[in-house]
Amino acid sequence: MTEKKQPQRNPVERILRMDRMPHIWCPGCGIGTVVTSFAEALRKEETDLDNIVVVSGIGCTGRVAGYMKLDSFHTTHGRAIPFATGLKLANPKTKIVVFSGDGDIAGIGGNHLIHAARRNMDMLVILVNNFNYAMTGGQVAATTPIDANASTAPFGNFEYPFNLPHLVASAGGTYIARWTALHLRRVTKSIQEALHRRGFSFIEVITPCTTLYARRNRLGDGLNLLKYYYDNSEIQHNADTKDLDITYQGKLIVGKFVDKEKPTFLDAMNQHLSKVLGDKYTPYGEVK
């Protein structure tokens, strides 16, 4: 390994656009740690980086695509998944990773999320959940726990938040995990696993938003939030996804909940059309 001969350089540097550093994320923000896990997973798996494509939407996590030294697309708010769908179908040999935030993927892009899961579209979605719309100043989100304060929920949130693993599992996702920014090795391992899966993989990572969510709710700094994760998260692999609701500063059930195989969109399309059309049909974009 050439990296070992250059100990002064971070081994994930070849995966990051170092010419774009420093990044825009706040001190104590958890997005960067998830990026590190992602880069680490790619490094450990010795993946052909030329074949990895990262797609982000808009928001703090939406900036991830811009920092990855990979084919990378920073798209529009909510539309990373359908954009990624087109990329995958047009060029099936590539491995698509959608890296974006809770507001982007589960809020404005929620419909795309469930439909991509339903189709078992072959992609890995890494959703960084910081419980609020951070880029725009800490507004309430579809993931904000009840009672948490947000700039558009100044008296506390009273809307039920999404239980994302349950949502994606119900829609048909085939690999589903949740971790926090504290579980970096676990996140890395999950990404490593998911990179080998074919189908719709979904990893939710709960991260601290120190500048907005934590400050508004007087939860301290990044370290305090990591302490909260440490004290309150409980690893329950294969937990029933309907039991994964998140309450304000309550218990966080993490782990790998779903890991199964079923034909992807392209597999199903090729199998079905080959069966019906016979010789008239040449299977599309088969990945050897």
Partner 1 sequence: MKKSKADPKGVLTGSHFMDGDYALAEGALAAGCRFFGGYPITPSTETAERFSERIPVVGGVFIQMEDELGSIASLIGAAWGGLKAMTVTSGPGFSLMQENIGLACMLETPLVIANVQRGGPSTGLPTLTSQQDMMQARWGSHGDYEIIALSPDSPQECFDMTIKAFNLSELFRVPVFVMTDECVGHMHEKVVIPPAEEIEIVERKWYKGPKDKYLPYKCDSDGIPFMVKTGQGYRFHITGLTHDERGYPLLNAECQKINVQHLIDKIKNNADKIIEMEEEQIDGAEVIVLSYGITSRVAFRAVQQARKEGIKTGTIRLITVWPFPEKKIEELAKKVKAIVVPEINAGQVFLEVDRCSRNKCKVVSVPHLGGWVHNPDDIFKAIKEAVK
Which residue of 70, 164, 169, 177 would you call a contact of partner 1, by CB under 8 A?
70
Which residue of 82, 103, 145, 255 would you call a contact of partner 1, by CB under 8 A?
82
**Nearest Cα to 126, choosing from 232, 12, 39?**
39
**Nearest Cα to 206, choosing from 227, 178, 235?**
178
Q: Residue 67 and residue 120: Cα distance in Å, rounded?
A: 28
Are 53 and 26 in contact by the 8 Å Cβ rule? The answer is no
Are 94 and 73 in contact by the 8 Å Cβ rule? The answer is no
Torsions phi, psi for 32 (to 5 deg): -60, -35
Judged by CB under 8 A, does residue 170 bind partner 1?
Answer: no
Q: By CB under 8 A, which span of 190-198, 217-225, 227-235, 262-270 interacts with partner 1?
A: 262-270
**Nearest Cα to 191, choosing from 26, 3, 47, 10?**
47
Q: Residue 104 and residue 43: Cα distance in Å, rounded?
A: 27
Which residue of 43, 79, 186, 216 would you call a contact of partner 1, by CB under 8 A?
79
Judged by CB under 8 A, does residue 161 bind partner 1?
Answer: no
Minimum CB distance to partner 1, residue 87 (Å): 4
Q: By CB under 8 A, which span of 1-9, 43-51, 185-193, 215-223 interacts with partner 1?
A: 43-51
Footprint on residues 14-33 left by partner 1 (CB under 8 A):
17, 20
Q: By CB under 8 A, which span of 173-181, 193-201, 248-256, 280-288 interacts with partner 1?
A: 280-288
Cis peptide before 22 (omega within 30 of 0): yes
Which residue of 35, 64, 112, 117 would you call a contact of partner 1, by CB under 8 A?
112
**Nearest Cα to 46, choosing from 198, 196, 197?**
196
**Nearest Cα to 193, choosing from 261, 265, 242?**
261
Torsions phi, psi for 258 (to 5 deg): -135, 135
How many residues of this chain interact with partner 1, rule: CB under 8 A?
45
Judged by CB under 8 A, does residue 13 bind partner 1?
Answer: no
Q: By CB under 8 A, which span of 167-175, 243-251, 252-260, 279-287 interacts with partner 1?
A: 279-287
Judged by CB under 8 A, does residue 50 bind partner 1?
Answer: yes
Amino acid (one-letter) located at 50: D
How many angstroms from the chain centroid is the CA of residue 227?
A: 22
Question: Hey, what's the torsion of the CAs at 60, 66, 72, 77, to 10 degrees?
Answer: 30
Minimum CB distance to partner 1, residue 281 (Å): 6
Judged by CB under 8 A, does residue 90 bind partner 1?
Answer: yes
Q: Which phi-psi region, left, alpha or beta, contains residue 156 (left: φ > 0; alpha: ψ -120 to 50)?
A: left
Judged by CB under 8 A, does residue 93 bind partner 1?
Answer: yes
Judged by CB under 8 A, does residue 146 bind partner 1?
Answer: no
Binding pattern to partner 1, positions 192-231, x when CB under 8 A? ----------------------------------------
Site for partner 1, rule CB under 8 A: 17, 20, 49-51, 53, 55, 65-66, 69-76, 78-79, 81-91, 93-94, 111-112, 115, 265-266, 269, 273, 277, 280-282, 284-285
